[in-house]
Chains A and B, each alone.
Chain A
Amino acid sequence: MFNQPNRAVGIVGYGAYVPRFRLPGSEISRVWTEGNSRSPIREKAVPGKDEDTATMSIEAARNALARAQIDPQLLRAVWVGSESHPYAVKPTGTIVAEAIGATPVTLAADWQFACKAGTEATQAAIGFVGSGMGDYALSIGMDTAQGRPGDALEYTAGAGGAAYIIGPAEQACALIQRTGSYVSDTTDFWRRPTTHYPSHAERFSGDPGYFGHVVPAAAALMAEMGTTPADYRYVVFHQPNAKFPTRALEQLGFTKEQWQTGLLVREIGNTYAGAAMIGLTAVLDVAAPGDRILMVSYGSGAGSDGFDLLATDKITEVQTRAPSTRSYIERRVQIDYAQYVRMRRKLATH
């Protein structure tokens, strides 16, 4: 486990974003299997034609600032974790920092670790604020994931994410009580620099990939804290589908009442670097002071970050300062596969 930072830190503001378009899994099944395949989720969120990881990060960051009620000029880091950065070379972080008014005296960078890129940035923000190098740091996990047409991942590759402002514990709506990490070189899902769609190792993604990291990361964090699943009001795990987190959570001894609030994958798909982080915003939207929360992310390649959080008295006052995660999910416009093909640029016009 990590040592505790020099000063206690917490989440002082959080914000979610989900684009409004939804593609039902039945549409993908209709086009590719004549309706014979059952989709692992009901539908997934699809970004509009004018949206990408930068624009979505900007909106989530503005929501986080609205909740934190701090001057963006006080941010000393703007870090964006994603596997769908708009540029291969040129940071998303500077675009976001400029748009929210955080430039120029701030760090700004992009993080990459498949679906763990966002929580990796949060871990760094905890260290940065916890060491006293800055009072506030913004970490974002956001993705507009692409699945190869006809591939199993096309059903779930969604869009969305969340932003967190880490700051001093005395201003926090949720204290960060402890974090941990658990990584290994495990090739289960990857994309080479010049290819558009990722490749994956089928069943290898589950075990040793997902289960081989999420479960020990959660177990190690609980062992360090001396807790059992019963000590947590809510739990959020990375959610590439509904089956993986449910199985891992059952294995660890959690119950549906603890995970259902933060399990959003059936409604918005797998938002990759945003998945665990937006599950947590959905929980924070309804959490009460004193609620303890466990979040564990997962990124292919592979690794998990674990977070033990405690909602403070400030949670209720920040909840209504920006649109809730649920309000973004309910802002829903259904599209068909033809519209999806145009919006996600899968149509060859030459």
Chain B
Amino acid sequence: MGIPNLWRTKGQRYSLAGEICPSCSQHIFPPRDVCPHCAKPAGPIHTLSGRGEVYSYTTMYNVPQGFQEQSPYTVALVKLEEGPMVTAQLTDVENEEVAIGMKVEMVTRKLREESEEGQIVYGYKFRPRLTEAA
């Protein structure tokens, strides 16, 4: 992923900046021009709470190039409280402890490093909630 793409997507990667459709009031993530629910213009930007639960998951031992540093890790489909489903790595959890329905919260972590001299890519991951209030 190049610098322009990373720059354009920083809001959604760092803090789950999505949208609320002004026509149908559905939450949208990632943000886009047209609402996938009602096909009307989407927006404005609305940051999601980051709270959700594990809908499904898999643990990866053979990982894509650039992600070896953190392997093995678990990737989950996370159903956010506001509705959207996102795919993300889980962190701060033992892989064998992950379960469908586990309550999770978003944290911003290092996704990968492009090289020793390249940029560091940060983005959202999910972990078991520290507290119910968090």
Mark A residues whose CB is within 8 Å of B: 20, 48-52, 54-55, 58-59, 86-87, 95, 98-101, 320-323, 327, 331
With a CB–CB cut-off of 8 A, which chain A residues contact B15? 98-101
B window 100-134: CB within 8 A of A? 107-111, 120, 122, 125, 130-131, 133-134
Instruction: Confirm or deny: B69 has a beta carbon within 8 angstroms of a beta carbon on chain A.
Output: yes
Which 8 A/B pairs are nearest by Cβ-Cβ distance?
A: A99-B14, A50-B109, A50-B110, A49-B70, A58-B108, A323-B130, A99-B108, A55-B109
- Report whether A323 and B134 are in contact in the complex, using a CB–CB cutoff of 8 Å: yes
Instruction: Confirm or deny: B10 has a beta carbon within 8 angstroms of a beta carbon on chain A.
Output: yes
Instruction: Confirm or deny: B92 has a beta carbon within 8 angstroms of a beta carbon on chain A.
Output: yes
In which size bucket is the chain B interface?
A: 20 to 34
Q: A51-B110, A55-B107, A98-B10 are in contact. Are A322 and B134 (CB under 8 A)?
A: yes
The answer for the CA separation of A51 and B107 in the assembled complex, in Å, is: 10
Total A-B residue contacts, Cβ distance less than 8 Å: 53
With a CB–CB cut-off of 8 A, which chain B residues contact A323? 130-131, 134
User: Closest residue of chain B to A322, judged by CB?
Assistant: B134
Q: Does more than half of chain A's interface fall in helix, strand or loop, or is it mixed?
A: loop
With a CB–CB cut-off of 8 A, which chain A residues contact B92? 20, 48
Q: A49-B69, A49-B70, A100-B15 are in contact. Are A87 and B120 (CB under 8 A)?
A: yes
- Report whether A327 and B120 are in contact in the complex, using a CB–CB cutoff of 8 Å: no
With a CB–CB cut-off of 8 A, which chain B residues contact A86? 120
- Report whether A50 and B14 are in contact in the complex, using a CB–CB cutoff of 8 Å: no
The answer for the CA separation of A48 and B89 in the assembled complex, in Å, is: 14
For the complex with contacts A59-B108, A98-B14, 13 further pairs of A-B residues with Cβ separation under 8 Å are: A48-B91, A86-B120, A95-B122, A99-B14, A99-B15, A99-B108, A99-B122, A101-B15, A321-B133, A322-B134, A327-B130, A327-B131, A331-B130
The answer for the CA separation of A289 and B28 in the assembled complex, in Å, is: 44
